[in-house]
Amino acid sequence: MWLFDDQAVPNLKTELPGPRARELLGRDQMVMSPSYTRGYPLVVARGSGAVIEDVDGNLFLDFTAGIAVTAAGHCHPHVT
């Protein structure tokens, strides 16, 4: 049912942050206010269920999802 059901999570394919994430975070730093801080260097590409994938293909369990998606997960087929 979920996009990442057949994969072990977490699944790290690069160092963290990965090369694409470092590039995007560098660009982000040039235009975002320094008052907007990030607790971790993560650039999410997509999510499915309780799993998020970053722009470098690394998979993580999403422990930071907002309360609105906690019960259904990301991209639940009966909700979206």
Task: Say if domain 9-31+41-80 classifies as CATH 3.90.1150.10.
Answer: yes
Q: What is the mean pLDDT of the chain?
A: 86
**pLDDT digit string (tens) for 7-39?**
899 999 999 999 999 999 999 999 999 898 878
Q: Is 72 buried (19+), middle (13-18) or exposed (0-12) by CB count in 10 A?
A: middle
Beta strands at 44-48 and 51-54: parallel, antiparallel or unpaired: antiparallel
Identity of residue 40? Y
- State the DSSP code for 49: B
Q: How many CB atoms lie within 10 A of CB 64?
A: 11
Radius of gyration, CA atoms only, the chain: 14
Q: Is the pTM of this model over 0.85?
A: no
Residue 68 has pLDDT above 60, yes or no: no
